[in-house]
Structure 1
Amino acid sequence: MNDKKKEPIWLALFTVLPVSLLWPLGEYFEEQGINQTLVSALLGGLGGLIGFGLYSWTKSKSTKTKIIGIVSILVLGIAIIRIVHTSSVEVLKTCEICGYKAIDKQENECNVCASNTWETEQADKLYDSKLEWLKDEQLFWFAEDDTSFVEFYEPNQIDGFFKDENWRPIINKIDVFEYNKE
């Protein structure tokens, strides 16, 4: 195959690869909907422009240079995806009540048990101590009609939130049984 017949292949590689790498990044910047689609389209268009520019720059270069260009686009695209993904991953705190890693930085409420954090409860001054608050909230959360089914460490995951392996309740099954009798 001569160089003239390979040009459409190089053009496709240089333009489609950046588009396909940048298009999915829209989901990291917008919620589902029309705005996400628009951001994805803009990023894909930007990728196409960058790819076309690189194609134009390497058009008269050797095949080795073109291959280096394609590999560079691929490596750079994957690095950008990893950076964006890593920076957008939420770091969740462990809830002292239920033990799930389900409290994000903005909220002061657990996404699993809906309990407020101690910092929020202190402002209301309903409890004299953190221990009193913690015991009351854990008893409420783990209360069951039949205490033989009380399981502090299961399930390991609820709605995508994982149980923290280092978390320990301050109550036991007997406490829950007595709480249920009241």
Structure 2
Amino acid sequence: MNKREQVWLGIFLVIPLITAKAFADAFAPDEKMGFLYDILFGFVGVLLGYAVYYFTKEAKTKVRGVFAGLVIIIFILSIAFSTNSNAYPQTCQVCGYKAIEKNDPVCGHCFEEISEERMKEKGYNRIAELVYARQLYVFYQDSVEQVDFYKPEVSEDGYEKDKQWKPIIDKEDLLDLRNGIKAEK
């Protein structure tokens, strides 16, 4: 393999590898899983990069340049994507406010923590079960009819409601809870 081929191979392997690392950082649920995501996404990135290199091996330099340009554009977009997905504050799964700050897993609005440790501590098998239970707790009121999961759009503490957030519970769940509490009394 001559030097020119080595350069092309490097371009088609290294850039997808770096891109895959950015995606892995964006999708990893926590730091413990980050390394596994790095390996998985890196492997896929290198495979895709080598596939592009292999299929453009006999192509002219201009064609390879176009493919290299596409790979670089994808790289830039992935960096922008991963930067946005790791932005803080993050949305609380329980209340929907952007109130989780970096290095603090507790929501600044509802003071709930959603994590694997908390899930196990409370005796749940899935994060969704913990979120469901905590949403019932946070949104429960005696007058369930007045509950609005999406209001206020800005909390008293200044936290903004994430417009893309959706609660797991609905008003019927709150009614069932209220009826269960009344039946116990």
Q: TM-score, structure 1 length as denominator?
A: 0.49
Considering only CA atoms, is the larger Rg found in Structure 1 or Structure 2? 1
